[in-house]
Amino acid sequence: MAVVTPAAPAATEEDKELLISGSEAVAEALTLADLDVVTAYPIRPYDTVMQAIAKKISGGQLVAEYIVAEGEHSQFEIVKHASTVGARVFCGSSGVGWMYAMECLVVTPPLRVPMVALVGNRALDDPGAFGVEHNDALVVRDVGWMLCWIDTSQEALDTTLIAYRVAEDRRVFLPLAISADGAFLTHSQALTMVPPKSKVDRFLPRYDRGDLLLHPDNPITVAPQANEDWVIEIRRQNYEAMARAVTVIDEAYADFRRVFGRGPENPWFEEYMADDADVILVGMGTISLPIKVAIRELRAKGKKVGLVRLRWFRPFPTERLVAALSRAKAVGVIDRDYSFGSPFGSGVVANEIRAALYNAERRPPLLSFICGLGGREVTLEDVYKATDLCYAAATSGKSDPKTHWLGVRE
């Protein structure tokens, strides 16, 4: 059997272009970030990232402890503890797997563990479905996880590097989950620019646990029983850390652009033809593709429609989003999630934006849509229907709080 010796990395500052999936792009970033400990457990669709990392390790590009856990609960606990002794860690899951880890997800933010995880968004059971829904990642929206949604393989790679930079910043020290739509992004290949390690080293410092390091040289007691004496102060510290993350994210993207020569000026959301739009549609993740195609068709017919694709959900870019949306004549939020029994029965994103707009001086009518659940394709017809309803609201100037389900058999 031939012994394969990995080629020495070329001493070049040039990016190389690879045709890779979103999951593979994350694995490229983890290799560049010199990951220390990773835990895997199989569930579709996120697990393609773990397959890709395993190849990086067996191929010699990455030296890391690769542990196959016996369930997601252990999967997240193992890396949580590895992080407390100073290791850079990665984990991930999908759908009910993420739920199985829930106890371990909620303890990570108050422990100030800067874990980075990939959620390959997947519908929750029952019944079984592999397709995308955003409810899995969204369940941790209240407990101190930073949450962002990505759209392309390039964004997967770039955001993974940014994620470590933000999470491991001492001002933040919070876990961060990157959401990638199951199948549409985790499994779809696209040309992706992979930077050289030299550039990454200029952007991403070593993880320094500092005075929180669990080590015999620093004999601290972590998470003793605190009760009513101190818990509210600890919650407040988490609150402050999440607030500080806003600045750190802005800084990280600016620095990313400086080092890598690419990346968005606005970290928080992508605006597509939104500047002059009468109707702005809002969504997260790969739903941008059918919306962008529809917008081009609608623009050709003279309809000024735009898209705001939200990247960051936690921390939520309240002021910037309000500024971007309040200039429209109507806003339509398309949720790929549900929140049964919520105000107006709307999805999670729609109600967050309603809350964000409450204090705005100018509040455009806001329409709420639920679409594409269980991985169902979001069609141009769905987008046209949403746009029509938004135009009607723009004309009347009235918000109909009803939630519209698109592309569903009635």
Partner 1 sequence: MAETTTFGNATQILEPFRGVKRVTIEEYFTSGHRTCQGCESALVMKLMVKASGPRTIVLGSTGCMYVANTTYYTTPWVVPWMHTQLGSSGSAALGTAAGLKALMRKGKMKSEPINVIAFCGDGGGADMGLGAISATLTHKEYNSLILLYDNESYANTDIQLSGMTPYGANTTFSPPGKVKRLIHTRWKKNMAGLMAAGHPECRYVATVCASYAVEMMNKVRRALTIGGPTFIHSLDPCPKGWDYDPMLSHELGELAIETGIFPLYEVEDGQVKYYGKTKAIVEGRARKPVREYLLKQGRFAHFVEEDLDYFQAKVDEMWEKWEIPAVVPFRRLDATRAALSAK
293 makes contact with partner 1 (CB under 8 A): no
117 makes contact with partner 1 (CB under 8 A): no
Within 8 A by CB and 6+ apart from 309, the residues are 151, 269, 270, 272, 282, 283, 284, 285, 287, 288, 291
* Residue owning tokens 């723009």: 394
| Contacting residue, 71, 205, 261, 397, with partner 1 by CB under 8 A | 71
Instruction: Pick the stretch among 21-29, 213-221, 264-272, 333-341 that binds partner 1 (CB under 8 A).
Output: 213-221
382 makes contact with partner 1 (CB under 8 A): no
7 makes contact with partner 1 (CB under 8 A): no
Of 1 and 300, the one with the shorter C-beta distance to partner 1 is 1
| Contacting residue, 19, 220, 355, 408, with partner 1 by CB under 8 A | 220
Q: Are 302 and 336 in contact (CB under 8 A)?
A: no
Instruction: Pick the stretch among 83-91, 92-100, 347-355, 381-389 that binds partner 1 (CB under 8 A).
Output: 83-91
Of 65 and 270, the one with the shorter C-beta distance to partner 1 is 65
CA distance 141 to 341: 18
- Three-state DSSP at 91 gives strand
CB of 218 to partner 1, least distance (A): 7
Secondary structure E strands in 13-139: 16-21, 37-40, 65-68, 89-93, 116-121
CB of 17 to partner 1, least distance (A): 25
129 makes contact with partner 1 (CB under 8 A): no
96 makes contact with partner 1 (CB under 8 A): no
Within 8 A by CB and 6+ apart from 368, the residues are 332, 333, 335, 344, 346, 347, 350, 351, 401, 402, 403, 404
CA distance 393 to 278: 11
CB of 67 to partner 1, least distance (A): 6
| Contacting residue, 30, 52, 53, 78, with partner 1 by CB under 8 A | 78
Of 86 and 401, the one with the shorter C-beta distance to partner 1 is 86
CA distance 145 to 147: 6
CB of 30 to partner 1, least distance (A): 13
β-bridge mates for residue 148, sequence order: 178, 312
CB of 208 to partner 1, least distance (A): 10
Of 226 and 254, the one with the shorter C-beta distance to partner 1 is 226
| Contacting residue, 77, 136, 151, 158, with partner 1 by CB under 8 A | 77
Instruction: Pick the stretch among 220-228, 258-266, 270-278, 376-384 that binds partner 1 (CB under 8 A).
Output: 220-228
Of 200 and 386, the one with the shorter C-beta distance to partner 1 is 200
User: Which 178-207 residues touch partner 1, going by CB under 8 A?
Assistant: 206
Q: Fill in the amino acid letter for 39.
A: T
| Contacting residue, 20, 26, 43, 79, with partner 1 by CB under 8 A | 79
The two tokens of residue 354 are: 């309603």
CB of 176 to partner 1, least distance (A): 18
| Contacting residue, 25, 89, 156, 204, with partner 1 by CB under 8 A | 89
Residues in contact with partner 1, total (CB under 8 A)?
45
Q: Is 251 left (phi over 0), alpha (psi -120 to 50) or beta?
A: alpha
CA distance 113 to 117: 12
Q: Are 307 and 295 in contact (CB under 8 A)?
A: yes
| Contacting residue, 197, 215, 362, 402, with partner 1 by CB under 8 A | 215
**Cis status, amide bond into 400, omega within 30 of 0:** no
| Contacting residue, 25, 82, 291, 350, with partner 1 by CB under 8 A | 82
302 makes contact with partner 1 (CB under 8 A): no
First to last CA, the chain: 60
103 makes contact with partner 1 (CB under 8 A): yes
| Contacting residue, 15, 34, 250, 271, with partner 1 by CB under 8 A | 34
CA distance 188 to 205: 30
104 makes contact with partner 1 (CB under 8 A): yes
Q: Are 177 and 118 in contact (CB under 8 A)?
A: yes
Candidates 138, 148, 154; CA nearest to 188 is: 154
- CA 277 vs. chain centroid, Å, equals 26
Please give the residue ranges that form the binding site for partner 1 (CB under 8 A). 34, 36-37, 39, 60, 63-65, 67, 69-71, 73-74, 77-87, 89, 103-104, 107, 206, 214-216, 218-227, 229-230
